[in-house]
Chains A and B, each alone.
Chain A
Amino acid sequence: MTARLFASALFAGLVAGLIAVLLQWSLMEKLILEGEEYETGNKTHFAGVLVINEAQEAANPAAATAPEATPADDGGEDESLFTRFSLAFFADFTSFVGWALLMVGGFAIAEKYGQRITRKDAILWGVAGFAAVHIMTGIGLAPELPGQPAAELELRQLWWVTTAVTAIVAFALFGYGRTPVYIAIGVALLLVPQLIGAPRLEGYSGMAPPELSGEYVARSYAVAFITWVSLGVVAGYFWNRLAGRNNTALPA
């Protein structure tokens, strides 16, 4: 059972990580790099940003006064992009193996209660994962370009984890709960973090153009959706495929 769990999570995480890094590289990286141009003060798009440039100059004179000294322009751009790509692949792979482990752990719990994971179920698990980890958290904490000011990190992380975990439990209750009471508990779990509300700043002081942020957020959701559905499908496939190799034969 342990081998089945870890092997199917590894395969699913590998496929999803590969899809994620290709999408990230083709759709996101250019926007991240452009966001960093605004973050470092190399680019400004609006008069109001001048204030932030002064603060930037005070905190880090090199970056503000000598744009050519920033990493993006240091002449080793190709090498730095290659490093970024490798790190991105490693991080995508690792985090999706992580999510896959949670997902197949969920498959195993479902199986323990006699629920077989069909291909359609696996797709729904992927959609539910996307909804829990991205949509429900995104209500309070939208995806951010680098350099976007935000509330204190620890508080945001705490809210994010609470929201994702309660949403995962809620969706499990919607999918597998047998009575209206479970559904009601699920609805309450979805609502509570949103009623508490995510930590936010007063006012807006982003440095990047709103259009860039908008495009970034839309693409972030697209990347996450495609990756999560793939994760569900591949995890379900290997979960069932590897079942025969153990003594835990599935009911036909």
Chain B
Amino acid sequence: MKVHEYQAKAMMARSGIPVPRGEVASTPEEACAATSRLGGRSVLKAQVYAGGRGKAGGIQTANSPEEAEALARGLLGTRLVTHQTGPEGVPVNKLLVEEPVSIAGQLYLGIVIDLASRLPVMMASAAGGMDIEEVARDQPDKIIKVHVDLATGFRAYQGRKLAYGVGLRQELVNPAAALMASLYRLFEASDCSLAEINPLAITAKGELLAVDAKLNFDDNAEFRHKDLVEMRDDEQEDPIEVRAKKSGIQNYVKVDGTIGCMVNGAGLAMAVMDLITLCGGRAANFLDIGTANNTDRVVNSFRIFMADPSVRAILVNIFGGMARTDIIASGIVEAHRQLDITVPVVVRLAGTNVQEGKRILRESGLKLIEAADFKDAAEKAVAAVQGGKVL
């Protein structure tokens, strides 16, 4: 999960990392007042779950409180479109109003889990303020890395190695190493999947300052970070995906086709999407119903399909292992009882308790399109969308 920049900076500040003075504003008046308190000038930063804000006009400088108010009026309530969002953009409901900073130099600092070594890795680069993926691709030698052993934690010498490596002058080496250690402690304690300061500025006064901050968190660790979950801003996410999550379907991703897919297992769900494409159609979504055996989740999946105007057929493909096909079948019957299902439904069941599952569907009297196997299901769903005579 993600949080906004202002929330990431608050967490970093609490961990002892210097960040610019700033306030959050939800109205133009608040932006005006905040700018006054900051001394009459400010930088307004749109708080959205997307990068590339600067180029998209989401970061603007105000030279007076009145100008801040006018700029805030132009930003708040709009949708910001960056290279990381779709054409529909993301809503700007809050601004971070910060003191302007004179920057003498900028660095990159980031932590992720390195899958190859299976350890956290801290990366630093003198190419601050740039897209780090581009730096990694074009100038990999500009990135210095140290791996962190959980038994020892992040050590001071590792911080010095990175600090000297990016060319910091002597008096900033120990402060930088301390800042890195703080960032690492935050990463580990909060179950981050990414902790990034880009740029980490060296100010004109010669101090280190986290000018931009990004924290992403491991979804699997939500159970021990209830405080983080409360920070989530659902308005930044796709509304259908938010609805799916709220109804217990964790794994739903909207894509651009017409066949609503309900599948158990992520690999099979991806394979169903691939197969639909090979058969000449397009899936409307990725949906892994998971293994929790309850009919509600099936009903909620159908509810999502019927709320999605692009869905013109539904494909259910369940290969039961942990999931029991009899419960899925009962869910399909229940969905038809509760909802007005107006599109053709293709069902393929196999695996655990399949005889019972098929019996439930047969005895329901519902007009479902039964498929013998996985390929048959994809072909029938594509034919149903194209108006073929499959009913």
Physical interaction between A and B: no
Where the two chains meet, the residues of B that have a C-beta atom closer than 8 Å to any C-beta of A are none
Where the two chains meet, the residues of A that have a C-beta atom closer than 8 Å to any C-beta of B are none
